[in-house]
Amino acid sequence: MSLSPARTAVVLLSGGLDSATVAAIAREQGFAVHALSVRYGQRHGAELDAAPRVAAQVGATSHRVVDVDLRAFGGSALTDAAIAVPTDGVVAGTIPSTYVPARNTILLALALAHAEVLGARDLFYGANAVDYSGYPDCRPEFVLAFEALANVATRAAVEGSRLTVHAPILRMTKSAIVREGLRLGVDFAQTVSCYQADADGRACGVCDACRLRRDGFAQAGVPDPTRYTSAAVRRA
């Protein structure tokens, strides 16, 4: 049975744990998932390489990759090789150097454009305001603000089709996200979250993303399927 446009969603899919879970949530809610990944000049391509595998595994209807090179501006450890990826853990109340200026604004704008062309009225992304790294574009205020923007900036909304921005893991701990993904059948071994994974997608084990991910599996009480570099294994 085909889904109507009202049940079509664009889901931002990085290839990581959070976005994989979000895509699975959208599928469970009855949406035809059109996954969108963005090659924005991030430090490595391992997570993006994982995205098509994740899209297939969660049953996405389509998967597209678009290019926007944010290295032109820099300002982040994820887009500028001259800035070291922090490995000392998340510091409460600070915005780390891995914050990419305006990244989610840009990515959601691309998802919004894709949604208009598809006739979709729903956008999903993996914002998290609990176990997160202090990024301002992962806060509830941002989600509401972008949704408001979408409903004044688009032809679809002006013609009466309201758009909704979904952030279903916004208030979930990392362990809760892990448990939800497992409930939905997500194969987390296919995902990559590390900020500085090697060419084979193996994780460093010490960056903020690795720490949050590892703690999530530990607190959920389930085995961590992440592939780590030999150096990370030795440190553990």
> Are the CB atoms for 163 and 147 separated by under 8 Å?
yes
What is the DSSP secondary structure assignment for residue 203, as one 8-state letter?
Answer: B
Question: For 134-181, what is each residue's pLDDT tens digit?
Answer: 789 999 999 999 999 999 999 999 999 999 999 999 999 999 999 999
The answer to whether residue 66 scores a pLDDT higher than 70 is yes
Q: Which pLDDT score, from 0 to 100, does residue 119 have?
A: 94
DSSP helix/strand/coil, 117: helix
Q: How many CB atoms lie within 10 A of CB 178?
A: 26
Question: For 41-61, what is each residue's pLDDT tens digit?
Answer: 999 999 999 999 999 999 999
The answer to whether residue 92 scores a pLDDT higher than 90 is no
User: Which class in CATH covers the domain with range 5-193?
Assistant: alpha beta
Give all strands of the β-sheet with 122-124 in edge-to-edge order. 62-67, 32-39, 8-12, 122-124, 164-166
Element (H, E) at 28: helix 17-28
Whole-number percent of the chain with pLDDT over 70: 92
